[in-house]
């Protein structure tokens, strides 16, 4: 079966032509999938019956199945646990912001990074998501919300720069006017610091925002809470991020999770301020750790978090403490999946 979801216009046109179907049918298919959200070939009534039957026999449009859904009490955060065609499960989140709907997308089933504060890495990496599976998360939320998607972040389960080609191809399709018409400037890729592909992404020439999961200001602590730190030293990571900034001129975001008794000393706040000062117009996003029964880590007191923030801010760096939109619905990566009995993938 030919999977049509995730194919670009030129790819769909090539499929049509290679099967002696008029090229313009590819444009009609794109319209059905991304504008009308019609996925049953028999409902594509612009097509003659013979073409509908051929599509049904030879092609598929495979969307994930919703296993569970959680909506925050305020109604501004909506999380889905999705099952893919092979039984793998992923999570995706829609956040209603003041500027519009933002969707947080997964790029892998599981994760190999091993960050101690993240539930999605507990079972390790199972596999990369396909282009169709990444795009399918956006399609599914678009049909459920019935509202435009303003921005997109690749911050769900997985390290997107490990699944580089599929992630970039998915974003290129999502950017297209015939798909979701989301500007690259409204897209963010979050990475733990996969150094070679930070350079590669910089050279793509796409003005995508890079968010570095920093989470520590020295290699000793970073390697304790982020095993990827054993592969790439902090200096190497920051050198790659500097290249990305200089090449793209895009504002860099640093994600820094706040874990009580681990990485929130005043010395670390000063060092974080000094790191931020090296990147003009950067933003530092302080994130209180989302501790729970699966992750035995705890956030600092509000007083300590505000002291940490004030020290970083004293270096002239833009810094905020992230609003905890998803606590009530287990919106942190991997929590909903773990709550439904699936910490790792099991397939027969």
Query: Residues 91, 133, 255, 345: which is the catalytic one?
Result: 91
Residue with tokens 């079966």: 1
Q: How far apart are CA 127 and CA 315, in angstroms?
A: 41
The single-letter DSSP state of residue 282 is -
Could you tell me if 120 and 111 are in contact, meaning their C-beta atoms sit under 8 angstroms apart? yes
Is 333 one of the annotated active-site residues of the chain? yes
Going from the C-alpha of 339 to that of each of 36, 80, 156, 178, 301, the distances in angstroms are: 34, 13, 16, 37, 26
Cβ burial of 297 (10 Å; 0-12, 13-18, 19+) is: middle
Active-site choice (115, 268, 333, 345): 333
Tally of CB atoms within 10 A around 53: 13
**Residue burial 244-270, b: 16+ Cβ < 10 Å; e: rest:** bbeebebebbbbbbbbbebbbeeebbb
Tell me whether residue 282 is one of the annotated catalytic residues.
no
User: Would you tell me the crossing angle of helices 195-202 and 234-248 to the nearest 10 degrees?
Assistant: 10
List residues with catalytic annotation.
91, 333
């Amino acid at each position: 079966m030919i999977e049509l979801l995730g194919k670009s216009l030129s790819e769909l046109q090539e499929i049509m032509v290679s099967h002696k179907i008029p090229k313009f049918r590819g444009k009609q298919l794109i319209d059905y999938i991304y504008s009308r959200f019609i996925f049953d070939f028999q409902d594509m009534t612009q097509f003659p019956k013979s073409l509908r039957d051929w599509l049904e026999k030879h092609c598929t449009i495979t969307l994930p199945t919703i296993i569970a859904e959680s909506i925050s009490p305020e109604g501004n955060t909506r999380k889905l646990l999705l099952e893919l065609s092979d039984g793998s499960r992923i999570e995706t989140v829609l956040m209603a912001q003041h500027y519009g709907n933002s969707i947080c997308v997964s790029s892998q089933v599981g994760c190999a990074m091993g960050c101690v504060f993240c539930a999605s890495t507990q079972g390790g990496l199972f596999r990369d998501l396909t282009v169709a599976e990444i795009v399918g998360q956006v399609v599914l939320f678009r049909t459920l919300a019935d509202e435009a998607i303003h921005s997109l972040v690749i911050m769900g389960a997985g390290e997107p720069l490990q699944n580089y080609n599929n992630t970039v191809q998915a974003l290129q399709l999502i950017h297209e006017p015939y798909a979701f018409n989301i500007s690259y400037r409204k897209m963010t890729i979050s990475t733990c610091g996969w150094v070679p592909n930070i350079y590669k992404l910089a050279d793509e020439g796409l003005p995508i925002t890079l968010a570095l999961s920093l989470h520590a200001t020295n290699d000793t602590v970073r390697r304790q809470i982020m095993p990827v730190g054993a592969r790439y030293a902090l200096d190497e990571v920051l050198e790659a991020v500097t290249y990305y900034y200089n090449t793209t001129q895009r504002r860099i975001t640093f994600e820094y999770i706040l874990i009580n008794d681990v990485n929130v000393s005043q010395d670390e706040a000063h060092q974080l301020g000094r790191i931020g000062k090296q990147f003009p117009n950067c933003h530092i996003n302080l994130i209180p750790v989302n501790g729970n029964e699966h992750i035995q880590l705890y956030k600092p007191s509000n007083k300590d978090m505000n002291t940490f923030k004030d020290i970083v801010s004293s270096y002239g760096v833009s810094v905020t403490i992230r609003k905890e939109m998803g606590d009530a619905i287990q919106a942190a990566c991997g929590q909903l999946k773990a709550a439904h009995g699936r910490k790792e993938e099991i397939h027969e």
